[in-house]
A and B are shown apart, each in its own frame.
Chain A
Amino acid sequence: MKPKIGIYGLSGCWGEQINILNCEDELLDIVGAVDIVDFLGGSSVNDTESRLAIAFVEGSVANAREEKELQHIRNRSDLLVACGSCACFGGVGAMDAQVSRPELIKQVYGNNGPAKSWDIGPHKPLSEFVKVDLAIPGCPMESKAFVKAVSSLLNGDVPLLPTYPVCLECKMKEYDCLLVSRGLPCAGPVTVAGCGARCPGYNVACIGCHGPVDEANMGSIEKIFEQKELPMDQIKLKLRTFAAPVLDKERE
């Protein structure tokens, strides 16, 4: 019998689920190797109770209902994989986690906004609530990272995901450095790779979507930005877009 897996989305854009469905060349191999029994984004008939070998969860946890759903997924799964930067770090929804929700509503809608807040708290990563066996960052998670994770996990191995910065992959493709050569605000030196330096390949400065590398030298890169007459806090804002809770935790 093939191992059963489930694919879930909490608060997020469902980009990871789309990217899983985008694994067109591998989909037949995937369904040949696993039984996808619970995947609301891909099927209207789902088994929401049976035991799972692996649960892939995208999105962040924004309220008690999602926390409960996550607990339920965790309880029925041998392995739980956080997919994408929302699940890994809190993501875009956690960008302003420190600002109160009524204040945010006011900022967005002005004084004529909805009178009462929705049932949405600050967005948090999955690891705040449950044990996460593997975290695959990215906005969205790369399709090939998903395939690699499935392949390794089915063999009982932890997949080796990049821990090095985007610069490695950028240099491997011999792109002219956007930060050094063109003075563009590239977050590549402090951002985890895995994207194959996709944005720099299109002459777009890295926005930091895979989250910061371990021991990111923020002090140094802020100075570099300043010296290139880029807004000094731009690098921080870029990384905060995807991984604000990580940066806040490091500051503590």
Chain B
Amino acid sequence: MELQAVHQNPSEKTENPYLPHMARIVRIHRMVPDNYLFQLRFVDDNVLQNWEHRPGQFVELSVIGTGEAPISISSAPTRKGILELCIRRAGRVTSALYKLPTNAMVGIRGPYGNGFPVEEMEGNDLLIIAGGLGMAPLRSLLWYALDNREKFGTVTLMYGARNPADMLFREELLSLADVEDFNCLLTVDRDPTGTWKQHVGLLPTLFKKATFDPSRTYAAVVGPPIVYKFVLAELLKLNFRKDRILMSLERRMKCGVGKCGHCSVGYKYTCIHGPVFTYWDAINLPEIV
């Protein structure tokens, strides 16, 4: 009785999922060339108070008069009030965003996507593995875990960048390097500055610096294809179960709400079924990696 379902409650006003909320850019932190952190605050107090998201979710950001683009959320749900988006200048919308000054308005709708299954991950050890720009969505998960430290066993971050200047959230992560109860492993492929005090070497070499109990660990991996290739091999070698390896995919999430079709991977929609998939999902879906 499909049509009836549509006909019911004609007076009930459905919220328009395509309608962005206005948000103000409160600060632009120029972390890395072409990779800035934008701190946003919703204008409408109602939206601000009711905003909730999960680590690993994304929003659709509108530069008014240019267009919309999907952006993963870098701030943790535990830090309310300010939404942080780490945005690479890559296309039309992000190029226009980079021209906006502090205090300019943008549109935000969301949050979208499944995000990381944090409830399921809690009670386990957590291994966060980021390659390059993959740190952007994983930072939300990292702070979620650090802010809920008692809910997790050991927490390990392994983050590899090409060189220190390319490392996202570098100062913040360096300040966490000596935190007790958190194993923060940072590496760079090379160090032209000669001042880098952390590890030098490709990301998979960090596996030698820590030990894991795969039976009680969830691994969250985000990075370029090359990172997946080598990191997944390491994790499988350590006998990680395929459904305990989580990865986040980048696709063209144009509508964010499972309609427009652009983010389809195999026959799933990244915006609804993802962007976080287990490695088991991945190998069972055509064209996922």
Contacts and interface: CB of A to CB of B under 8 A. Distances in A.
| Direct A/B contact, Cβ within 8 angstroms | yes
Interface of A: 155-158, 160
B96 interface: yes
Nearest to B66: A157
B92 A155 contact: no
Contacts of B92: 157-158, 160
A160 B66 CA distance: 10
Interface string B144-181: 00000000000000000000000000000000000000
**Contact residues of A: prevailing secondary structure:** loop
A158 B92 CA distance: 7
Residue from A155, A156, A157, A158 with most neighbouring chain B CB atoms (10 Å): A157
Interface string B62-87: 00011100000000000000000000
Contacts of A160: 67, 92
A155 B65 CA distance: 8
A76 B52 CA distance: 51
A155 B95 CA distance: 12
Nearest to A151: B65
A160 B96 CA distance: 14
A150 B115 CA distance: 40
B105 to A, nearest CB: 15
A180 B65 CA distance: 40
12 contacts: A155-B66, A155-B96, A156-B96, A156-B99, A157-B65, A157-B66, A157-B92, A157-B95, A157-B96, A158-B92, A160-B67, A160-B92
A207 to B, nearest CB: 31
Interface string B94-117: 011001000000000000000000
Contacts of A157: 65-66, 92, 95-96
A147 B66 CA distance: 15
A3 to B, nearest CB: 15
B89 to A, nearest CB: 13
The 3 A-B residue pairs with the shortest CB-CB distance, nearest first, are A157-B66, A155-B65, A157-B96
A160 B99 CA distance: 19
Contacts of B99: 156
Contacts of B66: 155, 157
A158 B91 CA distance: 10
Contacts of B65: 155, 157
Contacts of B96: 155-157
A134 to B, nearest CB: 12
A183 B180 CA distance: 76
Contacts of A156: 96, 99
A155 B63 CA distance: 11
Nearest to A156: B99
Given A155-B65, A157-B66, 11 more contacts: A155-B66, A155-B96, A156-B96, A156-B99, A157-B65, A157-B92, A157-B95, A157-B96, A158-B92, A160-B67, A160-B92
Contacts of A155: 65-66, 96
A128 B271 CA distance: 42
A157 B69 CA distance: 14
Contacts of B95: 157
Contacts of A158: 92
A157 B63 CA distance: 11
A155 B99 CA distance: 10
A164 to B, nearest CB: 14
B71 to A, nearest CB: 18
A43 B96 CA distance: 34
A156 to B, nearest CB: 6
A157 B95 CA distance: 8
Nearest to B63: A157
A205 to B, nearest CB: 30
A155 B92 CA distance: 12
B10 to A, nearest CB: 30
A156 B66 CA distance: 9
A158 B67 CA distance: 11
B253 to A, nearest CB: 18
A137 B20 CA distance: 34
A92 B66 CA distance: 34
Interface string B214-246: 000000000000000000000000000000000
A33 to B, nearest CB: 14
Nearest to B96: A157
Nearest to A158: B92
A158 B95 CA distance: 10
Nearest to B93: A157
B98 to A, nearest CB: 10
A156 B94 CA distance: 12
A154 to B, nearest CB: 10
B241 to A, nearest CB: 42
